Structure 1
């Protein structure tokens, strides 16, 4: 009899331990926020991901910083080689204003063609060639006409800082890392804590060839930040020059917001690159993408018009939380993230009380 009681007590003890462990795991699971960063290529979502790391005290490792050094070198060369190649193809074409620029251009093109950049050091002669070309009025004029071809947003920043990059002990600053561009391939996961919640953030590649991988991350998603570039209304996809970037972004947003996996998922829309849009709209009418838009209207009306285009694609009754953003401005992203985290907290609270 005593053996039976002893066995029964032991079973109860084990069961209690299991229940406590399951309860603790469930409590920990409720603290987890699965956050997806989605959007087309060049929308700025990877820049948002970097900013959220910085804001939430998740600094870049020494290895990551060294890796960004090589990305910056490649960005500088790619930006300048793009300008050199495109100048004579524009209508009307552009040419160098300085007779020495031709030699500097040849040096850049040869380096890019031969892939002769050392990841540990940016050669002084290349830095000098970049500086000489950037002082050429023809190169600057080509940069001003960037809407006629594909040029990285941060090109001017890199050209103006190239003399710093040639230093043997150069290490990228926080701003360098934010400004540099590398195509997101696959899925990049970052974890950080904010207001008692553990965020698991997934930055997913935005090019069309990368989107088929997204399905692997669609289960149990708490919130989605969808990034769309306001500035892309007159540009085409890098991977398909026949497709307008804004139209591609709208189609992508429609498929995400109507996806059966995200019926209960909070969707936050970042209409990004507002700074570039506010400058471009003065020179290039929005009607090139949306013929129904009256170009006599203000910049704010143009932004609201684009916002409406996105929001009306979502299912009826689904709230789309929208923000106009500048991903390279950390104060702007920090302010917006406070709103985003508040939305997430509120929705988690509501789901817990309706479960």
Structure 2
């Protein structure tokens, strides 16, 4: 009569299987724990990608963020900014002189020797990479004489037609200080310098227990092909617009309007499938310049849908452009499954697709405090106090959202 039950070999196999199952469960728990820990660490690191057309003031926003969060400028960076002050000064005057010649605006005969003197000075470095020729006292004397010419001031009223940098009045107002022995740029000087952003730069700073990474990429058309490399793990997009650009041309295209370019660019980014769940911060920047030019440069000739009876009204003017950008945001999502949704992107804008690689889904901010999913701020990036208030609101918002998401992990 046979004995019922399992053989020793089958018992061994069952025990081995149970042991393997236990090891597998423990391994899975360890992996899941590691994933949760990584997610929590990631939510303490907030990546903000800064986008916008050239001349919007993105790099100035980045510089003021460094100042606000005590990320110091090195001696080498200060030396670079010192050279940049002189380069901006010389380049701005060269552009303005070229514009006067183009428009047939005559200069006083007494100014012509100074023009000749300045024309011999290049704002480019010498063969050794030095800018020492820019620091000569003769540069100050020539620049002062040229800026004082009535004809040049007439040309300045039309500077928007040639994308002459708006920092020129600031530079001329401080020219005596710039040529003092041992001059080192102060914070205000640094914020007023202008340089074309090329490539990709990252700036890190800490707000309480969260680490922020602000990624700045060039905004001019030739630089936009590089944007694709920055889209991974983005928590929010900070789109910066030159609010005063409604009557200005692009540096790279004098036939293109700055604000129209920004609208096209904003629409193309909003409508792309990769960013349908991404939070947007919209900085309508250079509010100070917008308010300054509004009394003498009406909006209607450049945007025919702006009511003529509202000309000169600062509040109605800025609200007009705020609504234009938000109107695009309200159409967000229309392009799902249709590539770019029929949007015509400005030249140079990268055409993204699902094949580009989907970034990690971005944090969604509280929609009750956003307009059409976009957080709008009017800013003056060269004014540190103004930016401090704005950026406190932005960082607190991001931190609160991060804490909410961490609670769900």
Q: If the length of structure 1 is used for normalisation, what is the TM-score? A: 0.89
Alpha-carbon distance in 2 for matches of 1:199, 1:354 = 21
* Residue 181 (str. 1) matches residue 194 (str. 2): yes
Aligned pairs (5 A) from 1:312-323: 312-316=327-331, 318-323=372-377
Structure 2 alignment gaps of length 5 or more: 1-19, 333-371
Alpha-carbon distance in 2 for matches of 1:320, 1:18 = 36
Which stretch of structure 1 is more off in the superposition, 320-329 or 257-266?
257-266
Residue 120 (structure 2) aligned to one of 94, 110, 113? 110
Match of 1:337 in 2: 391
**In 2, are the aligned partners of 1:128 and 1:163 still within 8 Å (CA)?**
no
Alpha-carbon distance in 1 for matches of 2:68, 2:391 = 9
Computed over aligned residues only, the root mean square deviation of the Cα atoms, in angstroms, reads 2.6
Shift of 1:18: 8.0
Match of 1:232 in 2: 245
SS in 2 for 1:313: helix
Alpha-carbon distance in 2 for matches of 1:50, 1:301 = 30
Alpha-carbon distance in 1 for matches of 2:393, 2:230 = 24
Which stretch of structure 1 is more off in the superposition, 332-341 or 279-288?
279-288
Q: If the length of structure 2 is used for normalisation, what is the TM-score? A: 0.77
Alpha-carbon distance in 1 for matches of 2:58, 2:202 = 13
List per-residue Cα deviations over 1:10-59 (Å, max 9, x = no partner).
x99x9799887666544322210001111000001110110011111111
Structure 1 alignment gaps of length 5 or more: 1-7
CA shift in 2, pair 1:212/1:179, >3 Å: same
List per-residue Cα deviations over 1:271-306 (Å, max 9, x = no partner).
111111112221122112210111211221111111
Shift of 1:133: 1.6
List per-residue Cα deviations over 1:295-342 (Å, max 9, x = no partner).
211221111111111011114584111111111111111111111112
Match of 1:166 in 2: 179
List per-residue Cα deviations over 1:44-84 (Å, max 9, x = no partner).
11101100111111111111111111111111100111122
CA shift in 2, pair 1:339/1:301, >3 Å: same
Match of 1:221 in 2: 234
Residue 203 (structure 1) aligned to one of 216, 219, 234? 216
**In 2, are the aligned partners of 1:233 and 1:288 still within 8 Å (CA)?**
no
Match of 1:94 in 2: 105
Match of 1:61 in 2: 74
Alpha-carbon distance in 2 for matches of 1:28, 1:181 = 36
Alpha-carbon distance in 2 for matches of 1:169, 1:232 = 36
SS in 1 for 2:309: coil
Alpha-carbon distance in 2 for matches of 1:243, 1:137 = 29
Alpha-carbon distance in 2 for matches of 1:187, 1:113 = 24
**In 2, are the aligned partners of 1:257 and 1:315 still within 8 Å (CA)?**
no
* Residue 119 (str. 1) matches residue 131 (str. 2): yes
* Residue 302 (str. 1) matches residue 317 (str. 2): yes
Match of 2:344 in 1: none
**In 1, are the aligned partners of 2:90 and 2:123 still within 8 Å (CA)?**
no
Shift of 1:109: 1.2
SS in 1 for 2:182: coil
Alpha-carbon distance in 2 for matches of 1:341, 1:284 = 35
Which stretch of structure 1 is more off in the superposition, 296-305 or 81-90?
81-90
Residue 311 (structure 1) aligned to one of 323, 326, 337? 326
Match of 2:366 in 1: none
SS in 1 for 2:265: helix
Match of 1:283 in 2: 296
SS in 2 for 1:321: strand
**In 1, are the aligned partners of 2:202 and 2:215 still within 8 Å (CA)?**
yes
Match of 1:191 in 2: 204
CA shift in 2, pair 1:338/1:76, >3 Å: same
SS in 1 for 2:94: helix
**In 1, are the aligned partners of 2:240 and 2:283 still within 8 Å (CA)?**
yes
